[in-house]
Amino acid sequence: MTKNTEKSQSSLLLVFIASLVVIADQLTKWLVVSHFMLYESRVIISGFFNLTYLRNTGAAFSLLADANPAWRSYFFIGVAIGALVFVGFAFREYRRRGLLFVFAFAFVAGGAVGNLIDRVHAGSVVDFLDFYVSSYHWPAFNVADSAIVVGVGFFMLASLLEKDGNG
| CA–CA gap between residue 106 and residue 120 (Å, rounded) | 21
Q: Helix (H, G, I), strand (E, B), or coil: what is residue 107?
A: helix
pTM of the model: 0.87
Each residue's pLDDT tens digit, 10-50: 899 999 999 999 999 999 999 999 999 999 999 999 999 99
Question: Any residues with CB less than 8 A from the CB of 25 and at least 6 apart, and which?
Answer: 110, 111, 114, 115, 142, 143, 144, 147
Select the more confidently predicted residue: 5 or 83: 83
Average pLDDT rounded to a whole number, residues 131-143: 92
Q: What pLDDT shows up at residue 167? A: 41
Any catalytic annotation for residue 118?
A: no
Catalytic residue among 25, 118, 130, 145: 145
User: Which pLDDT band, with edges at 50, 70 and 90, does 123 fall under?
Assistant: confident
pLDDT(98) > 60: yes
Any catalytic annotation for residue 25?
A: no
